[in-house]
């Protein structure tokens, strides 16, 4: 991966909201803004690198303690607003390197911080807010579980710098004692291990793979194109269930998640005593 | 007839940790009520492992038993730590999610069905990468769907502990029970050492690992609910109490303000002293934080 | 990765129970044993350790030399020793014949 995580996130946050700064009280790594999306207002949230972050292990765009609790706060705030008005969509712009790998983080229970953010997104979704994840760069492991993976609909750019995976290449190579090239080859044989976003799309969890001209610095035309896709995803989310079942009913899922779907079907059949 | 009155209790104690996942799950349910779903003879195995030269397991390392605890309907979902470190793959994840969803469906229809999760897991099964990660996201969603009706009780006994994305499953649970031997964390010491260097975390320092991730620490700092002995009967008794208690008034992972304040109050200029953290976090609890 | 299949037509005594023993940990294996569907015993083995076909045959031949249950056996193996294999087979039989 050549791109520094978070650069695209910031560019797209600015392009979609006109803002590029954190709200008062939030860490510099958490960007939140309410902006027009079609006819309605949506809340856009993005995690970016902050070299001045308090915690040293998040300065390259990792999702750490402050980011996770900040996410939870801003999502819950949107839920509170939704009590008295239309349930605004929440768009998670995802370009995160991973979760933070630090001793401070583990000591202060980052697992709980991540859980809290995921719980907030899921609560918003279950209460009827359309949650859309737009993966503009990297979406890795705990970072993606915390920010984006609880979405109703996931969109991603069809681009070499977009990587959705459980562990970034270099770390996976170190842990499995393989070379990066070997891992890439393995990904061609075993689709869920692939680092190619087109293969991720084949797994059936993606709502749409977007072909955009200039993902690093989008033109107004590109921004308009993406906004149209987001609006469409919001409508699709509103028309569907508030759970994650759409990830199982896609063509991709029917092809690539057969074993899981069969296990689920059997669990349903066997649940009640014959 | 055996007269066991002269045998010390420590000899009669049955270790929970030494039991395989299936036996652990069985030990928690009311006698005679356990029924395994999508069990080993159905051979719902990983379609991805044999292609990589790895022997699959007939239940994909996830055991689902339906039954009762204190006569209340419960589903126990146990991960087998000895198989691929209890890691989540396509099939094990699907079994877990489906069981949680069915418990939620029953609960929504009037039959509250709690879930007990035996989390012995390193997180995503790297050999199934994106399907494992997606499965964890779905399990998190399913726990959140069930816990509004009935408690989701996570038991982390060891020796694998609960790491990676599955630590978020523990984090969103209604209650977390841990033995002293158990560990709970997002990233294990080896991964931190690998990613951030040995000064950040020396993974050969076992005392440090347990000081940060161990059951006594997690319970002491209030991010887990009960420290349990490695004793199958006692663990069953604790689980019973939480099943009977029902969901908490407020879940730990909903206490955003409390934890935001706790994080803001941390002096990041040096590493945190885990023991001091226990003190400061239980003090904020006593001050009225609903933890 | 290797797969083997062995037939034991002389093992014809009907059995009625199932047994599942073991965990597919490193150096370990699981056995699924159930009534055969065609009146005689068969064994299938899936193993991640290559080159031990003769060992598998030897252990299974020895086992069925003194066991005549018409069982269908499947083994998922991650490197168990022949001694462990025999032990697991005996554990499974104990459950079947209880």
How far apart are the CA of B12 and the nearest CA of chain A, in angstroms? 35
Angle between helices A110-126 and B256-264 (to 10 degrees): 150
How far apart are the CA of B270 and the nearest CA of chain C, in angstroms? 40
pLDDT tens digit sequence for B48-60:
999 999 999 999 9
| Domain B14-253: CATH class, spelled out | alpha beta
* Cross-chain residue pair A126–B144, CB shorter than 8 Å: yes
* Cross-chain residue pair B40–C20, CB shorter than 8 Å: yes
CA-nearest residue to B35 within chain A is A273
Give yes or no for residue B289 having a pLDDT over 80: no
Nearest to A145 by CA among A173, A111, A169, A179: A111
CA-nearest residue to C47 within chain B is B55
What are A26's two structure tokens? 């939030």
Kindly give, in sequence order, each residue whose CB lies less than 8 Å from that of residue A172, ignoring residues fewer than 6 positions away.
A165, A166, A178, A183, B126
Per-residue confidence (pLDDT) for residue B9, from 0 to 100: 67
Give yes or no for residue A252 having a pLDDT over 80: yes
pLDDT tens digit sequence for B209-229:
999 999 999 999 999 999 999
pLDDT tens digit sequence for A139-166:
999 999 999 999 999 999 999 999 999 9
Give yes or no for residue B1 having a pLDDT over 60: no
Angle between helices A169-176 and A180-189 (to 10 degrees): 100
Per-residue confidence (pLDDT) for residue A2, from 0 to 100: 46
Please list the ranges in chain C whose pLDDT falls under 70.
Answer: none
User: What integer best gives the mean pLDDT of chain C?
Assistant: 97
Per-residue confidence (pLDDT) for residue A177, from 0 to 100: 85
Q: How many CA atoms lie within 13 A of A236 on its CB side?
A: 18
- What share of chain A has pLDDT > 90, as a percent? 85
- What share of chain A has pLDDT > 70, as a percent? 99
User: What integer best gives the mean pLDDT of chain B?
Assistant: 94
- Per domain, the residue ranges of chain B are 14-253, 255-291
- Span A76-90, mean pLDDT? 92
* Cross-chain residue pair B54–C30, CB shorter than 8 Å: no
Q: Is B65 helix (H, G, I), strand (E, B) or coil?
A: strand
Per-residue confidence (pLDDT) for residue A58, from 0 to 100: 82
Chain centre distance of CA B134 = 18
Per-residue confidence (pLDDT) for residue B287, from 0 to 100: 42
How far apart are alpha carbons C43 and B226 in whole angstroms? 46
Which domains are present in chain C?
2-96 (3.30.230)
pLDDT tens digit sequence for A186-226:
999 999 999 999 999 999 999 999 999 999 999 999 999 99
Per-residue confidence (pLDDT) for residue A175, from 0 to 100: 81
Is the pLDDT higher at B11 or at B139? B139
* Cross-chain residue pair A192–B90, CB shorter than 8 Å: yes
Per-residue confidence (pLDDT) for residue B290, from 0 to 100: 42
pLDDT tens digit sequence for B64-123:
999 999 999 999 999 999 999 999 999 999 999 999 999 999 999 999 999 999 999 999
User: What integer best gives the mean pLDDT of chain A?
Assistant: 94
Interface of B with C in 68-87 (CB under 8 A): 80, 82-83
CA-nearest residue to B176 within chain A is A112
Per-residue confidence (pLDDT) for residue B285, from 0 to 100: 55
Kindly give, in sequence order, each residue whose CB lies less than 8 Å from that of residue A179, ignoring residues fewer than 6 positions away.
A173
Q: Is B80 helix (H, G, I), strand (E, B) or coil?
A: coil
Per-residue confidence (pLDDT) for residue A1, from 0 to 100: 41
Nearest to A37 by CA among A238, A189, A271: A238
pLDDT tens digit sequence for A220-234:
999 999 999 999 999
- Per domain, the residue ranges of chain A are 7-243
Q: Sorting pLDDT into bands at 50, 70 and 90, what band is B10?
A: low
* Cross-chain residue pair C20–B53, CB shorter than 8 Å: no
Chain C residues lying within 8 Å of B39, measured CB to CB: 20
Q: Sorting pLDDT into bands at 50, 70 and 90, what band is A82?
A: confident
Give yes or no for residue B180 having a pLDDT over 50: yes
DSSP classification of residue B40 = G
Closest residue to A192, CB basis, from B130, B221, B255: B130
Is the ipTM reported for this complex over the cut 0.95? yes
DSSP classification of residue A58 = G
- Residues forming beta bridges with residue C74, ordered by sequence position: C32, C44
How far apart are alpha carbons A197 and A217 in whole angstroms? 20
How far apart are alpha carbons A160 and B214 in whole angstroms? 40
Do B and A have ≥3 inter-chain CB pairs under 8 A?
yes
What are A200's two structure tokens? 């991720």
* Cross-chain residue pair B55–C77, CB shorter than 8 Å: yes
- Span B271-277, mean pLDDT? 95
Cα end-to-end distance, chain C, whole Å = 34
pLDDT tens digit sequence for C30-56:
999 999 999 999 999 999 999 999 999
> Hey, of A271, A272, A273, A274, which one would you mutate to test binding to chain B, going by the most B CBs within 10 A of its CB?
A271
How far apart are alpha carbons A259 and B151 in whole angstroms? 29
Interface of B with A in 207-266 (CB under 8 A): 212-213, 218, 221, 223, 251-257, 259-260, 262-263, 266
Interface of B with C in 17-76 (CB under 8 A): 20, 39-41, 43, 45, 50, 53-58
How far apart are alpha carbons A215 and A217 in whole angstroms? 6
Architecture of the structural domain at A7-243: Alpha-Beta Complex (3.90)
Closest residue to C23, CB basis, from B39, B56, B80: B80
Contact B110, B150 (CB under 8 A): no
Give yes or no for residue A119 having a pLDDT over 90: yes
Angle between helices B206-213 and B274-286 (to 10 degrees): 10
Nearest to B39 by CA among A178, A102, C90, C32: C32
How far apart are alpha carbons B25 and B99 in whole angstroms? 14
- Span A83-94, mean pLDDT? 92
């Amino acid at each position: 991966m050549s791109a520094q995580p978070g650069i695209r996130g910031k560019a797209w946050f600015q392009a979609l909201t006109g803002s590029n700064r954190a709200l008062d009280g939030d860490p510099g790594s958490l960007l939140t803004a309410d902006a027009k999306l079609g006819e309605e207002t949506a809340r856009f949230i993005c995690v970016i690198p902050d070299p001045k972050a308090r915690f040293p292990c998040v300065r390259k765009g990792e999702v750490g303690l402050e980011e996770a609790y900040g996410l939870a706060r801003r999502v819950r705030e949107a839920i509170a607003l939704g009590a008295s008005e239309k349930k605004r969509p929440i768009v998670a712009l995802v370009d995160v390197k991973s979760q933070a790998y630090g001793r401070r983080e583990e000591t202060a229970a980052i697992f709980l911080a991540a859980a809290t953010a995921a719980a907030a997104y899921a609560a918003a979704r279950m209460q009827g807010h359309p949650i859309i994840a737009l993966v503009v760069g990297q979406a890795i492991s705990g970072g993606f579980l915390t920010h984006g993976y609880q979405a109703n609909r996931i969109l991603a750019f069809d681009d070499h710098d977009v990587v959705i995976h459980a562990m970034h290449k270099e770390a996976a190579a170190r842990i499995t004692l393989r070379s990066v090239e070997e891992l890439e080859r393995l990904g061609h044989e075993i689709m869920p291990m692939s680092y190619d976003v087109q293969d991720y799309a084949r797994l059936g969890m993606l709502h749409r793979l977007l072909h955009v001209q200039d993902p690093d610095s989008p033109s107004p035309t590109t921004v308009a194109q993406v906004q149209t896709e987001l609006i469409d995803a919001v409508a699709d989310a509103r028309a569907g269930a508030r759970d994650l079942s759409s990830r199982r009913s896609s063509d991709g899922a029917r092809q690539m998640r057969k074993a899981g779907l069969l296990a689920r079907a059997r669990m349903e059949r066997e649940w009640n005593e014959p | 007839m055996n007269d066991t009155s002269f045998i010390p209790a420590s000899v009669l104690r049955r270790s929970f940790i030494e039991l395989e996942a299936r036996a652990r799950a069985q030990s928690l349910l009311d006698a005679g009520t356990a029924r395994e779903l999508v069990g080993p003879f159905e051979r719902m195995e990983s379609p991805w492992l044999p292609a990589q030269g790895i022997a699959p397991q007939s239940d994909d390392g996830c055991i689902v038993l339906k039954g009762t605890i204190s006569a209340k309907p419960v589903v126990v979902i146990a991960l087998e730590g000895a198989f691929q470190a209890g890691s989540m793959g396509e099939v094990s994840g699907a079994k877990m999610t489906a069981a949680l969803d069915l418990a939620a469906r029953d609960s929504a229809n009037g039959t509250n069905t709690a879930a007990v999760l035996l989390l012995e897991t390193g997180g995503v099964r790297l050999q199934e990468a994106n399907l494992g990660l997606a499965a964890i996201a779905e399990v998190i969603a399913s726990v959140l769907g069930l816990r509004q009706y009935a408690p989701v009780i996570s038991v982390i006994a060891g020796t694998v502990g609960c790491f990676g994305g599955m630590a978020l499953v523990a984090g969103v649970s209604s209650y977390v029970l841990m033995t002293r031997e158990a560990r709970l964390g997002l990233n294990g010491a080896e991964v931190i050492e690998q990613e951030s260097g040995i000064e950040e975390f020396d993974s050969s320092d076992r005392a440090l690992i347990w000081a940060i991730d161990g059951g006594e620490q997690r319970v002491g700092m209030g991010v887990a609910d009960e420290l349990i002995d490695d004793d199958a009967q006692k663990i069953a008794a604790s689980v019973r109490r939480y099943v009977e208690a029902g969901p908490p008034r407020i879940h730990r992972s909903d206490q955003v303000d409390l934890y935001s304040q706790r994080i803001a109050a941390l002096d990041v200029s040096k590493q945190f002293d885990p023991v001091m953290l226990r003190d400061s976090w239980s003090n904020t609890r006593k001050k009225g934080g609903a933890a | 990765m290797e797969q083997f299949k062995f037939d034991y037509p002389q093992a014809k005594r009907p059995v009625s129970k199932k047994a599942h023993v073991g965990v597919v940990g490193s150096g370990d294996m699981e056995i699924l044993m159930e009534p055969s569907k065609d009146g005689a015993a068969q064994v299938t083995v899936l193993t991640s350790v290559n080159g031990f076909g003769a060992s598998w045959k030897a252990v299974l031949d020895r086992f069925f030399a003194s066991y005549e249950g018409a069982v269908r056996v499947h083994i998922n193996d991650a490197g168990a020793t022949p001694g462990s294999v025999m032990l697991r087979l005996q554990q499974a039989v104990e459950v079947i014949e209880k």
